Amino acid sequence: MTDDHAAAHPDTDHPDDRPSRALLARRVVGFDDALHKRMASSTERLPFGSVRLTPDLPLVYSLSGMHIDRPVALPELRAAVDRWMGDLPNQSLWTTRAEVAWSLGGVMAEDGWTLSRVVFMVHDRTTAPNVSPVGFRTVDAAEYAVFTRPFVLEEEWGSPPVAEEMVRRDARLEARMDARFVLAPDADAGCHVYRHGTIAQIEAVGVLTESRGRGLGEGLMAAAMRECADAETLFLIADADGWPQHWYGRLGFLKVAAGWEWNRKRESADQHA
């Protein structure tokens, strides 16, 4: 589960009584899994994991996909993908198990899947951004659409149909999760905050291209962290191969777990979200 197998070891507390890395990994991976199941229209158990489906939002690939939690033979996986996701415009496979990722390896690329790696990062609760969150505000999903639409359209995978489904995705988050949306003063930066119990997640951090380089990202993080000040565990998920994870590291976020995701797009479908 973690990049050094910490989650495979028994829990032990640090001398200062902070949760162990293994325990933090289980908390945040479990939170992410529960969030996606709650957002899906339906979830089915499989011999090697589970599949979640949201056919009313087919262009948002994160709302439909297959979670693999144990090694699986490729013919069995192919059959399951054809059965459960054959009609989806975007197909997604996901695991936090290193042994699963290693077993699938390059075979997935031969079948047309693209691999992306992510890291789960937990805040150390001692480091704070060096900017003030003054002016940033928490809004509902309807108001947040003023940022979602242009942000999606700037992305390589963006299109008007995808942008509209992402707006509907935000409304679904608000209805099904304790979701909050943080918006910059000029609506040119924004992010999501999800809460459940003592755990909080910051997600979908973004700044419009024309407004980058002005410190909006750090101000946005300061505002989001203010929303989560009373959370026992605060985490986010970052691209393992991109610069943001190093930026998050400077803000006090530490890697505790890893994830692997394969995506495949049907040629006749619109771009995915």
- Give the pLDDT of residue 267: 60
Per the listing, tokens 């957002």 go with: 39
pLDDT digits (tens, 9 = 90+) for 75-101: 999 999 999 999 999 999 999 999 999
Band of residue 5 on the pLDDT scale cut at 50, 70, 90? very low
- Identify the CA nearest to 66 among candidates 57, 79, 56: 79
Q: Write the pLDDT tens digit of every residue in 176-201.
A: 998 999 999 999 999 999 999 999 99
Among all chains, which residue has been given the structure tokens 């905050």?
193
96-108 pLDDT, tens digit each: 999 999 999 778 9
**Residue 92 pairs with which residues in a beta bridge?**
263
CA dist 80 and 49 (Å) reads 11
Question: pLDDT category, 16, cuts 50, 70, 90?
Answer: low
Domains and CATH numbers, the chain: 19-118+261-265 (no CATH), 137-256 (3.40.630.30)
Least confident of 6-15, 27-36, 200-209: 6-15
- pLDDT greater than 90 at residue 141: yes
For the chain, percent of residues with pLDDT exceeding 90: 83
This model's pTM is above 0.85: yes
- Check if the beta carbon of residue 169 is closer than 8 Å to that of residue 63: yes
d(CA 202, CA 32): 11
The dihedral region occupied by 152, where left means phi > 0, alpha psi between -120 and 50, and beta the remainder, is alpha
240-258 average pLDDT score = 94
